[in-house]
Structure 1
Amino acid sequence: MPGTFGDSLKAIFNIPGIAPIFQNYNSSGFQSAMAIGLSRTAPNDKSPDIPNSQRGFLVMRGAGTRANQFYYDGLPLVYPFHADGITSVLNNNTIRSLEVYSGTYSARYGFATGGVIAVEGFKKKNDSVVLNLNTFLVDGYVFKNITKNLNVSVSGRKYYPNYILGRIPDLVPNQTFVSDYSDYQFRINWVIDNHNSLTVSSFGTKDYRHPFSTNKQYEPKKNTMETLNDSLIVDRNFRTDGIQYIWKPFEYVSNTMNISRSYFQERIQNSTYFTDTSKGVLSAAFNGLQKANTLGNDFSEDLRYFEDVMEFNLFKKILKLKAGGQYRETVSSFKGKVIYINENPEMLKITQFILSDPNTNAVMEGDRMVRRQLGYFSEMKLDYKGNVLSFGARRDYYDLSQEWKTSPRLMFAKEIDFTKTTFFGGTGKFFQAPPDVSYISKKIGNPNLKMEESQHSNIGIEQKFYLVILLNWKVTKIRLII
């Protein structure tokens, strides 16, 4: 697909109504809460601007950038794209198919007022080994069938422009921002017998984006000043470990259980620069800007997730009944720190003034919040000769606001088999709890915030596209649902 550069997950950016977000700022509101120079909040502002929607990964149909959910084989994918916005965190060879829901969708999916992107990986395929190598990146993928019912897949990627650019420092402008990231995916799939199967998965990434500095041995003086825009620096890592167990007691009955834990860490910093005029105007002009201080913040988020879904297919799959529920527990924390202080008396006054700001002081003290969400659903789907009718309901609970919300969902479709065209429509309600600790923190937010609500009503046409790529006998299918 054009514009994806061989990255299947990036196909979603070609769908009308979806726009990517380049992450200049981190995913929380801390940088606007810390009252320091050259940030979005001036030092003399006592009420820093903490927006309701922070930068996420994409905008879908006008919803907030943090209003969407990503899943990889039923497990939450909390960090789907690297900070450069060029590549996803999943190796392209691991993706079997993906589905994008941006209108009204199944009552199974909650915790989102925007859309849902569900990625499915390979559980069965022939043995394969793929290795890609170019100037700035190397990635590899291995799929091995140990036995008829047991297989293992491993993939990894390393993006290393800093190593290459370090060999040609004179050709790269100083302070040019470059990305340096790596990711991995690991899976074991075991079909125990005709009724039971087990999949163990682990995937994660490390992301860095920093200003390129020429080698100190060539021009040491150019490295005495760091970048003036620390908010562009990225230092993140995440990891998800999960288990999926599928039980099929009968041909038309199945139960899927997903258990996972996702851990995300981010380290940010902001520096304040001022001109020192204590020694006169000429001295200030000659020395230029001087760093007064650098303040940092360590942020972490630990997501524990459980899902159980039972499905019944009756009357030769004409009638499908589905019911289940999910539990999400998120432990978030942040803690500010002083990384650097200029001992110059004039600069110390500035630093003391900044640290006296109540919002900056609150971030420096730190906070830890635990929030829990519970959801359960049931739905029925009739599918007969291309005529589809699906209706269901979902109940969601958010512990901090102690709210129970009901989300009715209704969808219908008429498929023309010859052209693979479907006329469809639907309506439903969707709810989402505040997505970030900066919203609900007792120190810098409001723990009494209630769930966000959205109403999706749509009518349109679905056209199925099949993209077949013949590369080392590999076939990739991408299904886009608009």
Structure 2
Amino acid sequence: MNLLRSIFLFSCLTFAFCFLFVFSIRAQAQGILEVKIRLVRSQSGKPVSNAVVVSKQAGAAGTSDAEGLVVLKFPGSGYYQLRIATSDKVEVVTKEIRYNKQEILVALAESVGSSGIVVSGERDKTPLSRYGLVQDEIKRIPGVAGDSLKAIQTIPGIAIGVPVGVLPTVFTNVSNSLTGVPYSNSERGDLSLRGGGTRQNQYFFDGFPLPYPFHLGNQSSVLNNNLIRSFDVYTGAFPSKYGFATGGIIAIEGTDKVESNRSVVNVNFFLADIYNQTKINPSLSMVSSGRKNYPNLVLLQAYPAGIPEDAKFAEYQDFQWKMIWDISNEHKLTVQTFGTRDRQAYTKQQANYERGGSDPRPPTGLDRNFRTDGIRHIWKGKWFRNSISYSRTEFNEFFEVRVSNPATAETIFGLQNRTSDYITYAEERLELDLIEEHLRFEGGLQFRGRETNLKGENISSANPLFGDIFNNLLNSSAQFRSVIDGDRIRYNELAGFGEFQVKWQGIRFHPGARVDTYSGSGEKNLSPRITGGYVFESTKTSILAGHGVHYNSPVSVEQLSTRSGNPNLFMERSEHNSLGVSQEIGQGWLIKVEGFHNIFQNIIVADNYAIDPYSPNTDLRLVVNNPTNAQRNPFIPRNLNYSNSGYGHSEGIEIFIKKSRNPREESGSFGWISYTNSITKRINNQPRLTSTQSSDRALANSTRTLLSQGKLGTNYINYYDDNSYEVLYNNDKEELYDLDRTHILNCVFGYRFNPDWQIGGRFRYFSGTPYTPIVSADRASQAATFGVNLYFPKYSDNYNSDRFRPFHQIDIRIDMFDHYSWGYINVYLELVNFYGRMNQDGYNFDNFKAYQRGVNPSATYDTVNSPYIQSQRPNGSPINLPLINLGMEARF
């Protein structure tokens, strides 16, 4: 412990020295800097020759050669305006001059889409239900420690999910049965886009699958900040090239071209990362980056008394590497790998343990990681572009669950579980410019193969009677047996897609279609998609509309398990409909309003009534325990536990107002406001039986055997061997989606005073999510076996009838820059959760205590997305303070 404290103090002193050093040497490097400027077309990448480049501030001018190169001389480092005159237009850009022999790439003839954001290839992307941001706009958003991808959470239509539960992945239903939660219509995951499921989105990095976008608890993205060039978020009716999703698409673009060597080092109180790009020779480049966080060390050593009681901080690290080989003007090869690891096993009680107390570890420890290796070849000609991609992703998740007697610390139950997931992804995509600037076609094939393995291990208990109870649980629960004995699923998906992109005067028209095949159910589904609109060039007004059908296969091993699930599940289906209008006003202003109506069908839900009457009696554990019964009954009825009975819909309106900073000015304001008003509802279409009806049904089924099961609409019809019929009526009703938020408001703003100083802020407001309140609790008499008192909560019959308190928070960031011939140093100060708001994210019922309104259950708070420090006023009353983050970024 003394060693850790010494390391921490040494790090703080070093950081303070560097901080003071930066302020003490604020002086611009002088001397003539010779800079090479390369002009290219943004869409084709072709060099722009005979363009006149003028820098009035530097008193320099020149004309680009056949390769698009022009050399100018500048009196020193800093920001300079470049006036570029070509044969058809004049553009003004601002570039940062940092060192001698620097090479700067300037992309010309970029068009501005209805999103108001300039990105290359904009004409090829639908502006409907798409929000894109580039690195200059998102790099220094307050409250995210320089994490660009966190800007996704400020885009309209996006609700933050619950990425980590008490029992991750396969134990969702087991968790519900243990805690008595009567109703659930969602699952663990990162983000919900316009009411879609959190596990029904797809994330791509450079076109390769990204298993998850954020580290545990949404602390930060799994990608280095400087690696992210831009990203697009499709919340509805996305293009036909994107599939395997019924919610939305997040496509992230990384560094794809290295013009010069560059390194960026970022260090702050809670993490450190490094980025490097190297041009090995004119045709070969390499990009690498890595990151490591250390919140536990800092918070434990700096101010352990200020850590909230229920705070949880995951430890994480990530890496990215990419090789770019420009074989020729027509051929390009990229090879890359990226991955991450997350560990969560910390609470404030853990601090007491590290100081020599008893072992009060949290009941859940989680360790997960993934790695993706990919390769891509691009062949491009004058009017076509063909790319072939292949990747392999390995995901592993380990978690442990331990329930202990609080009085004796005896382990009542302990379990470790491992899940491994392997995804093979291949794509061939062809892009054709049929009529330049007017008609374009994009089509191709995609393959995705998946294998998931599940295994429970190291079951433990200090209670001598636990073995009998555990064996009884194994014999009575097929789901539990599949976890303990191990389970595996395999399936393949093949898709073909095609889309035309038509542009004629003010008309924009994108018709397309996609065919998805899924080996699990053997189905083939056609997904028509179309977006279109009209742009009034004179007023810069755009009217847009779109419709799309999307499919996705089941994602969980427990859903498709042949031992405990339903291997005949179909693909989920969604229908996205959008209508919007955007208006550009003056210089840099954009207003966009869009309404949407999404329908979700064939949603996979937990189903206690779906039964296979003739399931092979091949469960090895049951055969060994009772071989005679297995021979006598080769087929037995088996609960399938899941079905495609769910249905949902979401509708709302989104408003997006954006102000871009004028690139011709060194100072100015910028930012955006996004607001979403929506409602999302789901229905599981399950019979809701009273306790009396359930008891009567269980008694009747103990003396009869199911011979057949059918469905009339959403009602089950069962026929038994005693010639009796049973009709299970669907008396379910629509409930609010677990992640429904009526209002979502985000305000991001910034002001640059000059090239040296910038200030920014972020305000967030969300309606609380719905929940089913606990109204009482029953004491479990069986708990006496373990010598403890256990209480099981009783929930209201009105599911999702209440909401948690609204979430709101302000973050502030101040940036100071020092520019040198070799780069710059950026020192930043963040005040996260400025007024110390405690934002509720749930409630906790202590099963070892009786129900007491306002006491048990007790509220739990989000200390990761909304951190704070607990302190005391002079009079002893508590006060919550903002989390202070001081950091430094150096760019070489």
Do the two structures share a fold, i.e. TM-score over 0.5? yes
**Take 1:51 and 1:14, find their aligned partners in 2: how far apart are those partners?**
26
C-alpha deviation, 1:423, in angstroms: 2.1
**What is the DSSP-based 3-state SS (H/G/I as helix, E as strand, rest coil) of the residue aligned with 2:481?**
helix
Tell me if structure 2 keeps the 8 A contact 1:83–1:234.
no
Q: Bigger CA drift: 298-307 or 406-415? A: 406-415
Q: Deviations over 1:429-448 (max 9, x none)?
A: 11111122221111232110
C-alpha deviation, 1:403, in angstroms: 0.2
C-alpha deviation, 1:351, in angstroms: 4.3
Residue aligning to 1:265:
396
**Take 2:561 and 2:346, find their aligned partners in 1: how far apart are those partners?**
32
- The question of 1:94 aligning with 2:227 is answered yes
Q: Which has the larger radius of gyration?
A: 2
C-alpha deviation, 1:211, in angstroms: 2.1
C-alpha deviation, 1:361, in angstroms: 2.1
**Take 1:461 and 1:443, find their aligned partners in 2: how far apart are those partners?**
51
Q: Which amino acid aligns with 1:181?
A: Y
Change (3 A) 1:27 1:20: farther
Tell me if structure 2 keeps the 8 A contact 1:244–1:258.
yes
**1:241 equivalent among 364, 369, 373:** 373
- The question of 1:190 aligning with 2:321 is answered no
Higher RCO (Cα < 8 Å, 6 or more apart): 1
Residue aligning to 1:446:
566
Tell me if structure 2 keeps the 8 A contact 1:318–1:383.
yes
Q: Deviations over 1:293-345 (max 9, x none)?
A: 21121001000000111011122231001110100000101011124321x32
**RMSD of aligned Cα (Å):** 2.8
> What is the correspondence of 1:234-313 to structure 2 with a 5 Å cutoff?
234-248=366-380, 250-274=381-405, 287-288=407-408, 290-313=410-433
Residue aligning to 2:32:
none
**Take 1:203 and 1:418, find their aligned partners in 2: how far apart are those partners?**
46
**Take 1:299 and 1:291, find their aligned partners in 2: how far apart are those partners?**
24
C-alpha deviation, 1:148, in angstroms: 2.0
Q: Which amino acid aligns with 1:244?
A: R
Q: Bigger CA drift: 355-364 or 208-217? A: 208-217
Residue aligning to 1:72:
205
Residue aligning to 1:137:
271
Residue aligning to 2:840:
none
> What is the correspondence of 1:71-470 to structure 2 with a 5 Å cutoff?
71-125=204-258, 126-167=260-301, 171=305, 176-212=311-347, 213-214=350-351, 218-221=355-358, 223=359, 225-227=360-362, 229-230=363-364, 233-248=365-380, 250-274=381-405, 287-288=407-408, 290-342=410-462, 344-348=463-467, 350-358=469-477, 359-417=479-537, 422-462=542-582
Q: Which amino acid aligns with 2:379?
A: W
Q: Report the number of matched residues.
A: 449
Change (3 A) 1:373 1:27: farther
Residue aligning to 2:696:
none
**What is the DSSP-based 3-state SS (H/G/I as helix, E as strand, rest coil) of the residue aligned with 1:13?**
helix
Change (3 A) 1:99 1:74: same
Residue aligning to 1:8:
148
**Take 2:422 and 2:183, find their aligned partners in 1: how far apart are those partners?**
22
Tell me if structure 2 keeps the 8 A contact 1:265–1:298.
yes
Q: Bigger CA drift: 86-95 or 170-179? A: 170-179
- The question of 1:40 aligning with 2:176 is answered yes
Q: Deviations over 1:165-195 (max 9, x none)?
A: 4546863577742210000111011111011
C-alpha deviation, 1:274, in angstroms: 4.5
Change (3 A) 1:7 1:170: closer
Q: Deviations over 1:218-248 (max 9, x none)?
A: 4233x2x332x42xx3210000000111111
**Take 2:442 and 2:514, find their aligned partners in 1: how far apart are those partners?**
12
Change (3 A) 1:150 1:328: same
Change (3 A) 1:322 1:176: closer
C-alpha deviation, 1:21, in angstroms: 1.6
Tell me if structure 2 keeps the 8 A contact 1:69–1:112.
yes
Tell me if structure 2 keeps the 8 A contact 1:373–1:399.
yes
C-alpha deviation, 1:14, in angstroms: 1.1
C-alpha deviation, 1:215, in angstroms: 6.7
Change (3 A) 1:49 1:322: farther
Residue aligning to 1:17:
157
Q: Which amino acid aligns with 2:147?
A: D
Q: Bigger CA drift: 412-421 or 112-121? A: 412-421
Tell me if structure 2 keeps the 8 A contact 1:400–1:447.
yes
Unaligned runs of 5+ in 2: 1-137, 584-589, 591-657, 664-751, 756-816, 825-892
Q: Which amino acid aligns with 1:121?
A: G
C-alpha deviation, 1:52, in angstroms: 6.7
Q: Which amino acid aligns with 1:254?
A: R
Tell me if structure 1 keeps the 8 A contact 2:213–2:222.
yes
**Take 1:49 and 1:77, find their aligned partners in 2: how far apart are those partners?**
33
Q: Deviations over 1:423-479 (max 9, x none)?
A: 2111121111112222111123211000111111111135766578987789xxxxx
Q: Deviations over 1:255-303 (max 9, x none)?
A: 011110111000122223347xxxxxxxxxxx35532121121001000
**Take 1:169 and 1:353, find their aligned partners in 2: how far apart are those partners?**
48
Tell me if structure 1 keeps the 8 A contact 2:366–2:400.
no
> What is the correspondence of 1:39-58 to structure 2 with a 5 Å cutoff?
39-42=175-178, 53-58=186-191
**Take 2:282 and 2:540, find their aligned partners in 1: how far apart are those partners?**
35
Tell me if structure 2 keeps the 8 A contact 1:198–1:246.
yes
Q: Which amino acid aligns with 1:368?
A: R
Residue aligning to 1:282:
none
Q: Which amino acid aligns with 1:133?
A: V
Change (3 A) 1:449 1:462: farther
**Take 2:415 and 2:288, find their aligned partners in 1: how far apart are those partners?**
39
Q: Bigger CA drift: 164-173 or 399-408? A: 164-173
Please give the TM-score of this superposition, normalised by the length of structure 2.
0.48
**Take 2:520 and 2:527, find their aligned partners in 1: how far apart are those partners?**
19
Q: Bigger CA drift: 375-384 or 6-15? A: 6-15
Tell me if structure 2 keeps the 8 A contact 1:175–1:211.
no
**What is the DSSP-based 3-state SS (H/G/I as helix, E as strand, rest coil) of the residue aligned with 1:10?**
helix
Tell me if structure 1 keeps the 8 A contact 2:224–2:289.
yes
**Take 2:332 and 2:456, find their aligned partners in 1: how far apart are those partners?**
45
